[in-house]
């Protein structure tokens, strides 16, 4: 039996980053504008540190001016809001990103909403969310993970998804809800599932496009998947498995990859699927912000 095509997010992201670097070089040469991305990280969360390093490295490779503000885990709300205010006013900064999650004493919503919508390259400001929900994408910033997922879906199925059923498992503001808006914009028929959905496997089996973004390792089994479906696995879960008699940590998605690849027509791996695309789309949003600010 044929196995699914593996959607190489790493290769797609590298291709996109290369195109961004060329456009950036032209922007610097022609208009003397260098895209500026500033990342604010609070505390010492190890996963956040890795993400931020990857973002910084990619930004520099694209030719951006990349700046990081590292604050202690005890940083006050006022201190962070004052920093964001200064970055909002700094014309050399085109994109501002506050790495989530934040320490529990901080108000995540107040902090993300303090970023100017025109510099909100994560797409979390209510103004950008509203534009996305209304289908006005020309001047909106779309959250990077769903935007990256859509590019991979379009590679498999084209831009017009008329007549196709899309099922999203997970209703988060960062992935599930914006993913639904993008799929609706592309004319798919969309179902959002969550912990209270009845008979989730049966709903999933209707999907021509299945997006798993729930944060539970290998939850989606092979018999949940419609033969020939395109499967996008957003999950990143660290599990311990025994290999050669020794415990070993490894990353897996929300989909049981080995089972799913025997049924799907195409599937993203974990790692190497959605993750690299998220960072590439952050760079694309930052480049767009720089172009818009100087148009």
Catalytic residues: 55, 99, 122
Q: How far apart are CA 286 and CA 16, in angstroms?
A: 13
Pairing of strands 237-243, 246-252: antiparallel
Tell the residue number behind the tokens 């539970």, with chain if given.
216
Assess contact for 142 and 178: CB atoms under 8 A: yes
Helix (H, G, I), strand (E, B) or coil at 176: helix
Q: What angle do CA 226, 227, 228 make, to 5 degrees?
A: 110
Assess contact for 286 and 95: CB atoms under 8 A: yes
Give the length of the chain.
295
Q: What angle do CA 197, 198, 199 make, to 5 degrees?
A: 115
Instruction: Write the CA distances from 248 to 50, 156, 238, 245, integer angstroms.
Output: 19, 34, 10, 9
Q: How far apart are CA 41 and CA 266, in angstroms?
A: 35
């Amino acid at each position: 039996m044929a196995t699914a095509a593996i959607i190489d997010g790493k290769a797609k992201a590298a291709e996109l980053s290369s195109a961004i670097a060329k456009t950036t070089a032209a922007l610097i040469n022609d208009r003397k504008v260098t895209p500026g991305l500033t990342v604010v990280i609070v505390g010492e969360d190890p996963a956040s540190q890795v993400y931020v390093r990857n973002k910084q490295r990619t930004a520099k490779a694209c030719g951006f001016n990349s700046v990081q503000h590292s604050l202690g885990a005890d940083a006050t709300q006022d201190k962070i809001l004052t920093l964001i205010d200064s970055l909002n006013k700094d014309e050399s900064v085109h994109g501002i990103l506050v790495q989530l999650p934040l320490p529990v004493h901080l108000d995540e919503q107040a902090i993300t909403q303090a970023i100017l919508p025109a510099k909100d390259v994560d797409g979390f400001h209510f103004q950008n969310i509203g534009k996305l929900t209304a289908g006005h994408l020309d001047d909106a910033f779309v959250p990077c993970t769903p935007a990256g997922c859509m590019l991979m879906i379009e590679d498999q199925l084209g831009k017009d998804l008329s007549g196709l059923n899309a099922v999203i498992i997970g209703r988060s503001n960062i992935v599930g809800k914006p993913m639904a808006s993008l799929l609706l914009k592309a004319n798919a028929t969309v179902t959002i599932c969550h912990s209270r959905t009845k008979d989730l496997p049966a709903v999933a089996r209707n999907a021509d496009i299945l997006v798993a973004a729930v944060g539970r390792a290998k939850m989606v089994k092979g018999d949940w998947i419609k033969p020939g479906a395109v499967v996008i696995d957003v999950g990143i879960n660290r599990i311990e498995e025994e290999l050669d008699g020794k415990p070993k940590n490894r990353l897996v998605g929300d989909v049981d990859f080995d089972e799913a690849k025997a049924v799907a027509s195409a599937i993203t791996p974990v790692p190497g699927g959605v993750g690299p695309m998220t960072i590439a789309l952050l760079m694309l949003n930052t480049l767009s912000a720089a172009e818009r600010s100087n148009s």
